[in-house]
Amino acid sequence: MKDPLFESIRINTLELKNRIYLPAMHLGMCEDFMVNDRLVAFYAERARGGAGMIVVGNATVDDVSGNSQYIGAHLDEHLPGLTKLAAAINDNGAHSAVQLNHAGRYSHSFLMGGKEPVAPSAIASNLTREVPKALDTKGIKSIIASFSDAAFRVQKAGFSAVEVLSGTGYLISEFLSPLTNKRDDEYGGSLENRMRFGLEVMAAIRERVGTDYPVIVRLDNNDFMKGGMPREELEVYAQRLVQVGVDALCIKGSWHEARVPQLTPNVPRGMYGYLARNVKEKVDVPVIASHRINDPKTARQLIGDGFCDMVAMGRGLIADPFLPEKAQAGRENEIVHCIACAQGCFDNLFKLKHVECLCNPRAGHELETRPVKSEYSQKVMVVGGGAAGMSAALAAHENGHDVILYEKEVRLGGQLHLASAPPGREEFLQLAKDLEAQLSLTSVKLAMNTCVDEGVIASEKPDHVIVATGAEPVVPPIKGVDKPHVVQAWDVLSGKAHTGQKVVIVGGGAVGVETALFLAEKGTLSGEAVKFLLLNQGETPDVLRELASKGSKEIVLIEMQEKVGKDIGKSTKWGMLQEMGRSRITVQVGTRVLEVADGGLFVAFGESREFVSADTVVLASGAVSVNPFGEMLESRGISFTKVGDAREIALAFDAVHQGFAAGWAI
């Protein structure tokens, strides 16, 4: 039986070798709109990895459609770079496309040299808080022409197809939505009028590139905006796009402003395939599903069950460019999965840095991390089998060294097991499994359940030691923390400690928030139970929502600072705080713990002092680095490198990247 993921498919005259579609993702790699070698190397690697179609972007159509880190397609001077990028993809086995987009009111004037953003109406977005200039008819016609010109440049540069983004809250979707389109001319009001701009853009592109050139649109089937565009209207729009000559539709959901998570780890894999199915049932062109498709099994199921014709795998191919090749060769156990953490991709973009990846330290660094075997093989000893230690061992082995990894526990993964404990964070355990699987493919020796001391090091006689011994939780200097009803958050998350009904968590950083969510899940209905009761009408939807969100524990989170979650990435923080509110977790900021007493603890906020009752007090007061070997290694003259929490307390992203860099540098 044929694998549906690797059957060919046609889009207009273009035949794709498989159903894997790398969607456009802003990577932040360009400088002054120009394609550079970093971007070319990134996409060439993904083409070699076996994807059927690779879409780059998004790309600008004029000088106010995006900032200078975007791929430029609005001037002829961008053609040489575009041509080089198209060749890098096409020559390495994939077909190529460019996604064109105009950001509309999502553009920031300070990122465009003071130029004013434009939109159908002068309504500020919740992201920029900046009021855009309302376009007049002349401006609208000019942008339509700019889309057409940019599409022609894409075709001229040698790309196999062109895609247009018609969703996410950008300009075309701003015209579509009654939330952002308050016009009273032919581009506003009725659905027919609100669709006009997007349809005219696509008609102009089709006329410019000819009938045989593949034209694709990426659009929402649900914008998840209160008062936004109804799904029925979006489906009418999808049908009209096909009527004006669009050859395929890539379906997604949500505007950037929406409060329904799309890409975070709490979103089930393949969750939004139903959006593609809604459209597939109404059009006769290939339909591509999007969001949280990070493994071949999910992709195969979506295609096989008729949800879509192709699957968009974006961050999955950042994490492992060779996912398609491995899947086709029956080596799915070797895939490194995207865990939806957003620490290296979306969080980097908020910092105006280019995209990287927690799971793949080479992503965005393909040029400078090409494997080169060291001239002399050294004996490398890695102490600690968490994320940093495993990453270090893999990199050192790849460089040709003889590596042995010591781990004091009976399992690898370290704090990844703690990170995976809260609801919706299970993907972090996938990373632990993937790193362990990568080690199993090498000759790296493992010494499990073994504590390293001076005698072990003397016996091994290593040339270099990588210290990845992690951290341990802090015990704050608070009177009464030694009482029996006080436990560490790490022990709660690992199942070593149990809590009573009333729980007070001391510390509102990432660990405190994750522990609060972990405990708030206790006593809630499972998804399976909710579905059973819903289908059998055992309870009303409102009651089911209550039962799914209200647990059996009373939880209070106490934080000295004025905000919680200061060490949580921006991409995931808002969702976690939203979950805390839904779970009725009481948060007290600006609050200091004075003393733990029987039955609770005394706290102070401002000039007030009060007693907070608790059956269990959970300490989430931070961590301290563990590194027992530094002085001993120095005295023996053994070179060493500290990585991960053994070096300084940081994110999992830092642990993996530091480990990789340490192993690579030997």
pLDDT (tens digit per residue) in 465-479: 999 999 999 999 999
Strands (E), 229-374: 248-253, 287-289, 310-312
Q: What is the pLDDT of residue 119?
A: 98
Q: What is the pLDDT of residue 110?
A: 87
Q: Which pair of tokens denotes residue 421?
A: 């404990």
Alpha helix segments (H runs only) across 482-587: 489-493, 510-520, 527-535, 541-549, 570-582
How does pLDDT run across 599-615, given as a tens digit for each residue? 999 999 888 899 999 99
Q: What is the pLDDT of residue 371?
A: 73
Q: Which residues of 341-371 are buried (b: 16+ CB within 10 A; e: fewer)?
A: bbbbbbbbbeeeebbbbbbbbbbbbbeebee
Q: What is the pLDDT of residue 288?
A: 98
Q: What is the pLDDT of residue 503?
A: 98
Q: What is the pLDDT of residue 194?
A: 98
Sorted by sequence, the CB contacts under 8 Å of residue 432 that are 6+ apart come out as 387, 412, 413, 414, 416, 417, 420
Query: Would you say 160 and 214 are in contact if contact means Cβ atoms under 8 Å apart?
Result: yes
Q: What is the pLDDT of residue 375?
A: 80
The Cα–Cα gap between 123 and 227 comes to 15
Q: Which residues does the chain have with pLDDT short of 70?
A: none
Q: Give the domains, in start order, of the chain with CATH numbers.
A: 4-310 (3.20.20.70), 379-472+624-665 (3.40.50.720), 475-621 (3.50.50.60)
- The one-letter amino acid code at 311 reads V
Q: What is the pLDDT of residue 17?
A: 98
Q: What is the pLDDT of residue 9?
A: 98
Select from 56, 161, 76, 146 the least CA-distant residue to 104. 146
Q: What pTM value is reported for the model?
A: 0.96
